[in-house]
Amino acid sequence: LVGTTSMLRVTVQPFPPPPPLGPLVVANEGHRFMAAEQLRQVGCAPAAILLEPVGRNTAPAIAIAALEATAAGADPLLLVLPSDHVINDDVGFRAAVRVAEPAAQAGRLVTFGIVPTGPETGYGYIRAGTPLSMESGVRAVAEFVEKPDAVTAGAYVTSGEHVWNSGMFLFRASVYLAELERHQPAMLAACRAALAGAKRDEDFVRLDKAAFEACPSDSIDYAVMEKTADAAVLAMDVGWNDVGSWSALWQVAEQDDDGNAHHGDVVAKNCRNTLAWGDGRLVALLGLKDVVVVDTADAVLVVHKDHVQDVKAIVSELKAAGRAEPTVHRKVYRPWGSYDSIDMGERFQVKRITVKPGAQLSLQMHHHRAEHWVVVSGTGRITRGEEVILLTENQSTYIPLGVTHRLENPGRLPLELIEVQSGSYLGEDDIVRFEDVYGRR
């Protein structure tokens, strides 16, 4: 979204870990290969990648990391960072972490507050209380405040006592676990069970699904920070933005002289302060002001910047109607590459498949569909029943329903092919895997 690298990489890079320790990464199981690849590209070897089978919000995620960090008897400070924010002043942020360290060492749960640049209604606020140390600037938390309306947000900014809630924390692992035990014992018990029953390999720690599904879902703010007597806050001004909305992306994006920030193939005439995001086709804007236009392969969004936070209402309506758009993306990433569902109708689906060099799909079979593969570029090795064949550009093969098959890329360049599926059922769960190098079932 911002710059040329992923936000996960941007989050990790300012903090090179002392060897041999790396960061603890908590991610959804479906994102495991993307997260691992992004870390590899910046030379970051994580201490562990902990995989959640389902989302349970931030309090359990942090608990899992704290339990892992203390498993061998250590009790380190945990710097808790979301992977989806922008910090323009890395040096200032590292300095703030050092300032907060003594308070965290002494048993405080320190959160980093952001000095407001305006009356933002999309953030929660923290009211700072009594100073813990006049020299450090760390203060006790007097109050956590929900996202306010515009008038209230203006009063908060004017008061000088309120900062934005960034969702970043520094505390001892044992202190956080003790507070969770005090305020949310059922949550901690479920996290302990999920980690105790986890399956471990060289790359990932897969939490026990049944135990983690039983875990209460809550944020760290509600579960711990608003209840503990040891919450502290350090205000900082480091060019932070959580890029949590399209208007936030507009704020951090490069703009022209009229305040327009455009990505992709965009043509605009007589427009001011617009954000246009195009993923492929031409997007044209005429005579617009303070408007966001987002055109993706899945959907088109047109919204005034003052209402971008209300997108959640649209998502809720789509979910209530049973629509697939809130949960199914057109382009899906897999450990071997990706596929893009470019067309779909009754009893057929067309996908563009990309297989990375040296990668392979599982040896599999389908009960309800047949497949026709046409190689666009690269070389594919295809297992079809007892037969193994090589296909290159413009060559094709047919995989009948019920036949065991596998697709591999033995070359040094990506393999691109078009897959046409036909049958009575085309869901992704119609896959019977016999062998898989990535451990999927």
Q: Write the single-letter amino acid at 385.
A: G
Q: Is the pLDDT of residue 17 over 90?
A: no
Q: What is the pLDDT of residues 379-431, one digit of tens each?
A: 999 999 999 999 999 999 999 999 999 999 999 999 999 999 999 998 888 99
The pTM for the full model equals 0.79
Q: Above 60 in pLDDT, residue 291?
A: yes
The DSSP letter of residue 222 is I
Amino acid 405 reads H
Distance between CA atoms of residues 267 and 283, nearest Å: 6
Task: Report pLDDT for 282.
Answer: 95
Q: Give me the amino acid identity at 206.
A: R
Give the DSSP letter of residue 88: S
The per-residue b/e assignment along 12-49, b for 16 or more CB within 10 angstroms, e otherwise, is beeeeeeeeebbbbbbeeebbbbbbebbeeeebebebb
In three-state secondary structure terms, 215 is coil
pLDDT of residue 123: 85
Percentage of the chain modeled with pLDDT above 70: 98
Number of C-beta neighbours around residue 128 at 10 A: 21
Mean pLDDT of 39-43: 85
What does the block give as tokens for 397?
A: 């093969």
Q: Looking at residues 109-136, what average pLDDT do you find?
A: 88
Mean pLDDT, residues 34-59 taken together: 91
Q: Which of 125-129, 166-170, 323-327, 434-438 has the lowest mean pLDDT?
A: 323-327
Report the C-alpha gap between 378 and 322 in whole angstroms.
39
Q: Give the pLDDT score at 16.
A: 66
d(CA 169, CA 186): 23
* CA angle in degrees (0–180, nearest 5) for 79-84-88: 80
**pLDDT band at 136, cuts 50/70/90?**
confident
Please, what are the domains in the chain? 7-241 (3.90.550.10), 254-310 (no CATH), 331-435 (2.60.120.10)
What's the whole-number average pLDDT of the chain? 92
For residue 223, pLDDT over 60 is answered with yes
**Is beta strand 275-278 parallel, antiparallel or unpaired with respect to 261-263?**
parallel
List all residues 6 or more positions away from 315 whose beta carbon is below 8 Å from its beta carbon.
326
